[in-house]
Chain A
Amino acid sequence: MEHVVIIGNGISGVTAARHIRKLSDKKITIISSETEEFFSRTALMYVYMGHLKFEHTKPYESWFWKKNNLTLKKGFVSKVHSSSKEVEFDTGEKLSYDSLIIATGSKPNKFGWPGQDLNGVMGMYHKQDLEALEKYAPNNEVCKRAVIVGGGLIGIELAEMLHSRNIPVTFLVRENSFWNNVLPAEESAMINREIIENHIDLRLGVNLQGITGDEKGQVTSVIIRETGEEIPCDVVGLTAGVSPNIDFLKDSEIELGKGVKVNRFLETNIQDIYAIGDCAEQHEAIGLRRPIEAVWYTGRMMGETVAQTICGNRIEYKPGHWFNSAKFINIEYQTYGWVWSEPKENEAHFYWEHESGKKCIRINYDKNTQEFLGINTFGIRMRHEFFDKVLNEKQSVTAVLEHLADANFDPEFYKLHESEIVAKFNKENNTNIQLKKKSWERIFSRV
């Protein structure tokens, strides 16, 4: 029987396994050195915060794997021998495969800072990071202060985590406003306010000079390059992005860039070896996407796609319209389509912010054709299917605003802001767009 080996039990690898199982009865082995069973990495923060226990982050009960004949193997793959079609573990053990899927995800970036390997310095990515955090920052007695280096999503999540245990946090962000290479100025400023309101010591426009430790190898402080200030701390979180976790492939014949190079079929340069998820790098970016996308949803989609190919239905990876979401402490964020931090030449932005300063939307559209290009929404939930349809049909910004009530996905009885939003657009653009009442018929008339 054909043997599919998957290295990595994250969302990409497990999705691939599940879909291969749906389509075939191939032998499937999923290898991980991190945990026995699949868990949701994005939920690790809630374990530290006490919202969940680790077991709650596992989407499948333990019987699931056996029932679906998915073999789980705990082990660390140190080499891939593509000529003999084998993977080798660090124990020397070997396992042969017919198809190999590399889904090893990411590892936190370290930029060679002095002291970056001291005890108490950690990323926030693996289950082991969580365990380290429990050890070095169980409470504000053991950890008097933590410093987080690097803006972005993991950084703010780590800040929120530590804050939930009343540990004072200093948050060093290189940019002069939080995540402003992705978020436009107003949204970025809103999140700055949210961070400060939660009593997190946000330092913008600063870089890490180095980390100092004591004779026991335990971190004692960080030094800021710009000011030379030394901040005493017991824990340092390094959250300056992630990069593909592919060191073990260095001596294989698999073509590597920053990640594992794949074509649109998620195939590497070697037959029967595929790469998906955070560790896969497209030869050429798809549309406006980046060649490497370390995003939950794209990992899942690649898993779905590669399963088709492996099961004889060779299919191109064609991610649909870009979407993403996050939560910045108490502010939910969703985005559909493309909204850049600065509008491109042909683009115009429309921005509305609620008087509370906790909700806003930004619509990006083509100022010549009026085509809707994307939306950022903060504090207001929006319907994914609505925007998928709008983008497929290349509808205009006018159509989107008219039907904004269809798009709203907030819980029942929430205050609606659509009329306020449309009124602001009309005023700014001298238009006379009329908001239409929510219609189930339209909502359900999907492509």
Chain B
Amino acid sequence: MKIIKQTGLLLFLIGLLIFSGVIFTGSFNLSQSELDAFITEKGYKSDVIKEKLSKAIVTDESLNIFEFSSRVRNAYEASNEHYNALIAKYDAEKNWDKKGAQYQYLIYGKPHTLSYELAKKSGNGFVKNNPGLLWFLTFGLGIFGALLFILPNFVLLGPEGIKNNGIYFEASTNRGWIAWLVLIYLVVFYLLLYFFPDYVVNWTFILDPISEFLNGGKASQWFVYGFLYCVIMLVMGVRMYIKYRHNKYQVIRTTSVLFFQIVFAFLIPEIMVSLNMPGYDFKNAFPLDYDFFFEWNLDNLRNSGAIGLFILVWGIVLTLVIVPVMVYFFGKRWYCSWVCGCGGLAETLGDPYRQHSNKSLNAWKLERWLIHSVLVFSLVMTIVTLYCYFTGAQSFLGINSQWIKDTYSFLIGAWFAGVIGTGFYPIFGNRVWCRFGCPLAAYLGIVQRFKSRFRITTNGGQCISCGNCSTYCEQGIDVRAYAQKGENIVRASCVGCGICSAVCPRGVLKLENGPEKGRINPTEILLGNDVDLMKLVNEK
């Protein structure tokens, strides 16, 4: 068994190594006609960029992606510098007509995105020419190896039941060197994905055939991410099934998040795209889906006929009606740990790290400030965007629409949700984003705290304060503090994952959707003592 596991780990690492190494392969150069077609397609009027790009990348040299990217970005910069200089010059001359005319030559967008788009067209090499083989050497080996590593647990974990044996002895799960390596890998992965997509263009070549099969188009870096996301959740979902096979709640919940990720977040949007519809994740509610009310999305939906209109209405109804009503009946768990993609990754890939969430009072204070600030930020951004959308203004209340959108996308969308939210799993626990940053979780949490039937019931006086519940709470709730007082747990942040109940050795905790009456029950004296004493103290 041990050998099988080790072989699995080795194969997985080889797959990962090939996957990572693929970045450095291939050559990138365009023909003049391809470049001309691209420039026409983009509508660039700048002659500078045409000339610079032509010199830089229409070449017989074999450029790797980093050289290629650097050259494209230089061309981009040179072009904009040229026209900015002209603008400054005409500005000084007070020659307004000429100054105004220069703006059409400026190029907008991110340099790395431009480089990515060109690289996608110009890439060549072994990966591009052998996507099937590369798929097996990367995804295939990775999946096969990971499963070989995970499946023996069915036997090795022994009879069914909670087996957290040794979690605090392993370098991988006790913030040791493996955890730090995983952190670095994940952080680098997200930085590449969000900010340097051109560097990982080779990954997209591996998935081009699958993308073409699903949506008729080539794979983008987001397609790679979506596909990888599903694969990781599936494989780690298998791990969940084995670890929690005694616990039907966990088995059903894992199945649910897998279903919503693969079908709703991945397959349906891809199929919609192949049918010339906007690719939309029907479960992704605003304000987690923060760009739902951005101009480009609204325009896109308005131009998509009936389906666009339906999505628009659905998105609004989902946020304003379905979400709060469901939270009233089932708590926010129906979303956060049954449906949400972020939650899905946290519950599968993140499960080995759930014990690292900080339980201190200070962390709780920080959490409440941060998450509600993000909620306010997202709402202000949306109000500004909508105001500007309908009035055509550039700013509202002195806030520039483009600026606030860019700031939110950068700080919250990329850094908080991606780089920190997932990258820091191995050190800070698996729900960093959900706990400290997700504006939707904040919104659901307010409903859950004040108007919901959900609570975690504690079983009278049975708690022995062992601390398993608090330790394994991914949301950093000090569950024990409630359980040892016999107090129901009603907290805005609880995502209802049910692990506290699973790890409790005394059967103290149970997730319940019951009547609102008696949901909040602060007690001073625990059950077990004589009733008179309880009355006496409660009367005081």
Contacts and interface: CB of A to CB of B under 8 A. Distances in A.
Given A392-B531, A409-B510, A42 B168 contact: no
A308 interface: yes
Given A51-B164, A409-B459, A415-B248, A56 B470 contact: yes
B510 A411 contact: yes
A383 interface: yes
Interface string A408-447: 0111111100000000000000000000000011011001
A58 B470 CA distance: 11
A59 B467 CA distance: 7
B33 interface: no
Interface string B514-533: 11011000001111111111
B479 to A, nearest CB: 11
Interface range, A side? 35 or more
B161 interface: yes
B533 A304 contact: yes
Contact of A319 (B246, B360, B514, B529): B529
Interface-centre pick from B248, B471, B528 (highest chain A CB count, 10 A)? B528
B529 A318 contact: yes
A384 B460 contact: yes
Q: Is the interface of B mostly helix, strand, loop or mixed?
A: loop
Given A51-B167, A381-B459, A444-B515, A11 B506 contact: no
Contacts of B468: 43, 46, 51-52
A43 B464 contact: yes
A388 B460 contact: yes
B539 to A, nearest CB: 12
A53 B355 CA distance: 10
Nearest to B360: A61
A43 B511 contact: no
A59 B469 CA distance: 11
Interface in B369-405: none
A12 to B, nearest CB: 12
Interface in B125-167: 158-162, 164-167
A384 to B, nearest CB: 3
Contacts of B361: 61, 63
B349 to A, nearest CB: 21
Interface stretch (A116-124, A210-218, A295-303, A366-374): A295-303
A325 B462 contact: yes
Contacts of A413: 248-249, 252
B480 interface: yes
B501 interface: yes
A325 B506 contact: yes
Contacts of B537: 308
A164 B162 CA distance: 12
A42 B462 CA distance: 13
Nearest to B248: A413
Interface in B170-228: 170
Given A59-B467, A301-B529, A411 B460 contact: no
Interface-centre pick from A56, A57, A61, A383 (highest chain B CB count, 10 A)? A56
Nearest to A160: B165
A301 B526 contact: yes
Contacts of B158: 198
B230 interface: no
A415 B467 CA distance: 27
Given A40-B465, A50-B169, A61-B360, A327 B505 contact: yes
A332 interface: yes
Given A57-B466, A59-B480, A384-B459, A197 B159 contact: yes
B159 A198 contact: yes
A329 interface: yes
A385 B465 contact: no
Contact of A318 (B249, B510, B518, B530): B530
Interface string B241-256: 0000011110010000
A49 interface: yes
Contacts of B246: 330
Nearest to B170: A50
Interface-centre pick from A40, A58, A61 (highest chain B CB count, 10 A)? A40
B168 A332 contact: no
Nearest to A384: B460
A22 interface: yes
Contact of A444 (B502, B506, B517): B517
B498 interface: yes
Given A301-B529, A320-B531, A296 B165 contact: no
A234 to B, nearest CB: 20
B484 interface: yes
A73 B468 CA distance: 27
A305 interface: yes
A332 B168 CA distance: 24
B126 to A, nearest CB: 45
Given A381-B459, A411-B502, A43 B526 contact: no
Contacts of B498: 411-412
Contacts of A56: 467, 470-471
B466 A43 contact: yes
B248 A414 contact: yes
Interface in A4-27: 11, 22
A385 B461 CA distance: 9
Interface-centre pick from B168, B169, B515 (highest chain A CB count, 10 A)? B168
A57 B505 CA distance: 14
Contact of B506 (A63, A301, A327): A327
A415 B247 CA distance: 10
Contacts of A300: 461, 526, 528
Contacts of A40: 464-467
Contacts of A296: 464
Interface string A146-163: 000000000000000000
A49 B249 CA distance: 25
B100 interface: no
Nearest to A300: B526
A330 B162 CA distance: 8
Interface in A280-311: 296-298, 300-301, 304-305, 308
Given A297-B462, A325-B462, A409-B507, A385 B480 contact: no
A334 B533 contact: no
A361 to B, nearest CB: 13
A270 interface: no
Contacts of B164: 49-51
A192 to B, nearest CB: 15
B516 to A, nearest CB: 10
A73 to B, nearest CB: 22
Interface in B451-480: 457, 459-462, 464-468, 470-471, 480
A247 to B, nearest CB: 26
B481 interface: yes
Nearest to B512: A412
A338 interface: no
B266 to A, nearest CB: 26
A447 B361 CA distance: 35
B168 A52 contact: yes
Contacts of A392: 531
Which 7 residue pairs of A and B lie closest in terms of their CB atoms, listed nearest first?
A384-B460, A330-B161, A318-B530, A43-B466, A381-B507, A50-B166, A51-B164
27 contacts: A11-B465, A46-B468, A50-B168, A50-B170, A51-B503, A52-B466, A52-B471, A56-B467, A56-B471, A59-B467, A61-B360, A313-B536, A320-B527, A323-B462, A330-B159, A330-B161, A330-B246, A332-B507, A383-B460, A384-B527, A388-B527, A410-B510, A411-B498, A413-B252, A414-B249, A440-B514, A440-B515
Given A320-B527, A447-B531, 11 more contacts: A40-B465, A43-B466, A43-B468, A52-B168, A57-B467, A300-B461, A301-B461, A301-B528, A304-B529, A383-B459, A411-B248
Interface of A: 11, 22, 40, 42-43, 46, 49-53, 56-59, 61, 63, 164-165, 197-198, 296-298, 300-301, 304-305, 308, 313, 315-316, 318-321, 323, 325-327, 329-330, 332, 334, 381-385, 388, 392, 409-415, 440-441, 443-444, 447
